[in-house]
Amino acid sequence: MSAVLEQELPPPHRWIAAQRASDVEITQAVADPLFQPAGRTWWLALLASLPFVLWFFGSIGWLFDQGIGIWGINSTIVWGVAIANYVWWIGIGNAGTLISAMLLLTRQQWRCSINRFAEAMTLFAVAIAGIMPIIHLGRPIYAYWLAPYPNTMALWPQWRSALVWDFWAIVSYLLFSILFWYVSLIPDLATMRDRTRTRAGQLLYGAFALGWRGSAGHWRKLQTLHTTMAALGVPLVCSVHSIVGLDFAASLMPGWQEGIFPPYFVVGAMYSGFAMVVVLALAFRWGLDLQAIITRRHFEVMGKILLMASIVMGYSYATEWFMGWYGGEHSDRSLVAFEFTGTYAPLFWALLFCNVVLPQALWFPAVRRSLPALFAIAIGINIGMWLERILIIWNTLSHDYMPSLWRSFHFTFWDWSFLIAPLGLFAFLFLLFVRLVPAVSMFDMRELAHREGAT
């Protein structure tokens, strides 16, 4: 809908790249694409993602039939792609709510064009992440034993187990994220209800809008709730990924039993999640013609955040190596040496390049303003972060205390399946999302436009 919000240079407003952006124009720009038939690009993208969805569910079916031996895991490297995927996906999932909540609390006005789809990203990524530990269980049919319920075996969950913490963290976080997303969606659903021409649309949006009328009192209560949820969301997100870090840190393995793991995992989560937001924002901006709402300045700011996060990541890696050496334990020191020179060294160097070296290009304003460059860096960070997650597992398990147990991991077809196919499912869910729900928060945009004097 670039025709509605015509982009003109230089932009007179800080966060809106259009001369004027009245309430109607913003509403049209965001809502109207949803009422028009989906374009060819959307259908092609959906068709392209569909085989991956089938592949993913087919792989899960095969896994349930055959057991986890179809993966490259063995009796030494007992964790593999499923756990790395879990950490990677929940990292991406953490970023949506974290970004949205932190930017809301710090009153960053530019958040309103990215928060909605960043939160949607959270929902889909956490849902995919939640599948991973379950399929990693040897007997997934007993996954519900993680929950305390009255049973004839008179058994209780083992509350000291990191797996149980994980279960509660994922469930609480997923449900919290749904509520956080939905609360800020209600006014926009009301707009959709009032704009749609079809009876089915009115019923559907009307039911989910719950009769929202935009009353001043309701707005105030909604804002109170939303900011309070944001204030709760930030510690929740940090705790969720800290618990993921504790899966490793609560063990006795060299390279895992480190106090830095929880914060280091949180930073990594925010880092990969922000990179994913950049990728999605670029896709959205292009696919939905939202050039006036998601401006180049937005990307410049996100580039700065990525740069900052990459520095913190580099610092965390350096701390790990330093502590490995300084602690003086032979197993820790030899593990660090193994990381740099061992079986997986090429991947380790690639991870350092993607996560620490490549983002340094963002020091240059020209790179931050170049969308192709930013896209390439964001993809690189996502690859680097996945490598980090898998290498945390592989390096430690391949280089345990007992040299007689040292083995290496070999990818099988099913490892590739569980690595690639979920990306297709994620894309599929996102494509459905952009056709059903306004991808940008319209009421926040209207408020921003009024504040910037763009109406």
Tokens of 51: 């085989």
Whole-number Å distance between alpha carbons of 150 and 308:
49
Task: State the minimum distance, in angstroms, from the CB of residue 225 to other proteins.
Answer: 5
* Closer residue to other proteins, CB minimum distance, 241 or 285: 241
Sign of the alpha-carbon dihedral angle for 318, 319, 322, 325: negative
Whole-number Å distance between alpha carbons of 163 and 142:
13
For the chain, the straight-line distance linking the first and the last C-alpha, in angstroms and rounded, comes to: 18
* Closer residue to other proteins, CB minimum distance, 229 or 383: 229
The whole-angstrom distance between residue 390's C-alpha and the CA centroid of its chain comes to: 17
How many other C-beta atoms lie within 10 A of the C-beta of residue 368? 23
Task: State the minimum distance, in angstroms, from the CB of residue 279 to other proteins.
Answer: 28
Q: Is 152 helix (H, G, I), strand (E, B) or coil?
A: coil
Task: State the minimum distance, in angstroms, from the CB of residue 162 to other proteins.
Answer: 9
Task: State the minimum distance, in angstroms, from the CB of residue 160 to other proteins.
Answer: 5
Whole-number Å distance between alpha carbons of 190 and 391:
47
* Closer residue to other proteins, CB minimum distance, 220 or 410: 220
* Closer residue to other proteins, CB minimum distance, 77 or 174: 174
Q: Which positions lie near other proteins, rule CB under 8 A?
A: 22-24, 27, 148, 154-160, 164-165, 168-169, 171-173, 175-176, 179-180, 182-183, 187, 190-191, 193-195, 206-207, 210-225, 228-229, 232-233, 235-236, 239-240, 243, 443-444, 446-447, 450, 455
**Helices marked H in 106-161 — which ranges?**
115-136
How many other C-beta atoms lie within 10 A of the C-beta of residue 441? 24
Task: State the minimum distance, in angstroms, from the CB of residue 238 to other proteins.
Answer: 11
Task: State the minimum distance, in angstroms, from the CB of residue 233 to other proteins.
Answer: 8
* Closer residue to other proteins, CB minimum distance, 54 or 179: 179
Q: Is 438 helix (H, G, I), strand (E, B) or coil?
A: coil
* Closer residue to other proteins, CB minimum distance, 134 or 178: 178
* Closer residue to other proteins, CB minimum distance, 132 or 190: 190
Task: State the minimum distance, in angstroms, from the CB of residue 110 to other proteins.
Answer: 16
Q: Do the beta carbons of residue 126 and residue 93 sit within 8 Å?
A: yes
Sign of the alpha-carbon dihedral angle for 180, 184, 189, 192: negative
